[in-house]
Structure 1
Amino acid sequence: GLVAGLQRQMSFASVRIGLYDSVKQFYTPKGSDHCSITTRILAGCTTGAMAVTCAQPTDVVKIRFQASVHAGPGSNRKYSGTMDAYRTIAREEGVRGLWKGTLPNITRNAIINCAEMVTYDIIKEKLLNYHLLTDNFPCHFVSAFGAGFCATVVASPVDVVKTRYMNSPPGQYRSPFDCMLKMVTQEGPTAFYKG
């Protein structure tokens, strides 16, 4: 799944990061020099959703390709390579199969963007206000570490549902919501934090 993972990261990051400033300016009121946290969250969610929509096939292939590898020599793989995975999924499930799980993926990305941005700003602000650190690399590192931790805790349930839904055979779940309900009823709430 490395090739699909690289394809996903290149396409996802290009759209998300490449369009962020333009979208942020679009949401900023005319004549304003200051960009509010709400504007940043809106820009992050918008570019994140656009990036997910573009990169979704690469994410589906990465997850399916990784899940298709069986242990042991001589075992049959479903896909011979990344490009074969794209073709096989499109042939067996139609082109829509490559966009399976887009809504939970957009939801996951929006949650992560918001959680990271808001907690990063809050942690950094508190560190500076209480004079625990100055505005330098250690302050940014601690703020980023805290933001990443918070975003992971908040986004893990959506991430698990997204991955299971995208990796499920056709018909196993009616929707991402059905996947979530089955996880809770069959495995309990701790299933959302597997991995």
Structure 2
Amino acid sequence: MGNPTASGEVPPSMAIKIFSAGAGACVADVITFPLDTAKVRLQIQGESPASGAPKYKGVLGTITTLAKTEGPVKLYSGLPAGLQRQISFASLRIGLYDTVGEFFAAGKDPTLGSRILAGLSTGGVAVFIGQPTEVVKVRLQAQSHLHGPKPRYTGTYNAYRIIATTEGLTGLWKGTTPNLARNVVINCTELVTYDLMKETLVKNKILADDLPCHFVSAVIAGFCTTLLSSPMDVVKTRFINSTPGQYTSVPNCIMTMFIKEGPSAFFKGLVPSFLRLGSWNVIMFVCFERLKKELMKSRQPVDYAT
């Protein structure tokens, strides 16, 4: 995500990168969370058809239906877990990306291989740390108090407690395999594409290393990431939200979806996924880059004094 030393500037520290990534991700999550909720509802639609259950059509249709039938607040159900996820997950996978990439490059200019290895490493570690927050977020977004049994959870911490006591601690890491596959793809595609696009635009003097460059790079990264990760994202959502015994394994979940709903099931919620991930990328990367610059400016007097 940039080679600041090329312009003679002191590169931001790892702590600044981690903080900026976490803060930027939280801002992006707050703004785009209704899109994420709409994506989850579209992804689980058709899983267990119920008479009288609302049918969701399109992004705006899903958001409107949710707001009308369950109230506008429902669009932000699971937000606390979502913010916990960004603090424990995005801060590490994004904040550590440059540092790990430099390690794999062994002091040389970063290559495509070192960037991919960095994305794989930081994405994999972050998934294992942040998986419980993902499980709780998805289940709170998916549950409805309409036309069915009483909701399983009354809130974020109630969900953590019930999952741990009824499914064991391993229940909080349910769906780690598809989520790992999804986030490895997302991390590599998102960060490497953003990195390469930004570097290309700046080196070829098409755009300066500023807001327009960050915006274009983030949109392209969001599109590529959504397209590649959609099948794994749908499987991850279905498996995490499933009741005990509904699917015997991740492969069973995949086969059940394929047999009952066909290949198109793996691309359910693609449009809200792109709208969410694309806008999330733009907000996160713009905030991330700006925060890094501002924090570096605030450090300058101290650095000069020393």
TM-score (norm 2): 0.57
Per the alignment, do residues 125 and 33 of structure 1 end up closer, same or farther by CA in structure 2, a change over 3 Å counting? closer
Q: Does structure 1 residue 166 correspond to structure 2 residue 243?
A: no
Query: 1:134 maps to what in 2?
Result: 207
Counterpart of 1:184 in structure 2 is 258
Q: Which amino acid aligns with 1:2?
A: L
2:70 aligns with none
TM-aligned CA deviation for residue 118 of structure 1 = 4.1
Sort the Cα spacing of 1:50 and 1:129 in 2 relative to 1 into closer, same or farther, 3 A: closer
Partner of 2:130: 55
**Aligned pair in 2 of structure 1 residues 128, 166: CA closer, same or farther (>3 Å)?**
same
Matched, 1:41 2:116: yes
- Three-state SS of the structure 1 residue aligned to 2:108 is coil
The number of equivalent residue pairs is 190
Identity %: 56
Q: Deviations over 1:60-113 (max 9, x none)?
A: 0111122223138xx732212111101101111111000001111111011112
* Deviation of the 1:129 alpha carbon: 8.6
Q: 2:208, 2:248 → 1: CA distance?
A: 49
TM-score by length of 1: 0.86
1:95 aligns with 2:172: no
The correspondence for 2:105, drawn from 20, 28, 50, is 28
Mean Cα deviation higher: 75-84 or 18-27:
18-27
Compare 137-146 and 57-66 and name the one that shifted more: 137-146
* Residues 157/9 of structure 1: CA separation in 2 closer, same or farther (3 Å cut): same
Paired with 1:105 and 1:115, the residues of 2 have a C-alpha distance of 15
Higher RCO (C-alpha under 8 Å, 6+ residues apart): 2
Alpha-carbon offset, residue 22 of structure 1: 3.6
Gaps of at least 5 residues in structure 1 are none
Counterparts in 2 of 1:145 and 1:166: CA distance versus 1, 3 Å:
same
Aligned residue among 77, 83, 89 for 2:151: 77
1:56 Cα deviation (Å)? 0.4
Distance (whole Å) between structure 2 residues aligned to residue 148 and residue 53 of structure 1: 23
Q: What is the root-mean-square deviation of aligned Cα atoms in Å?
A: 2.3
Matched letter for residue 120 of structure 1: Y
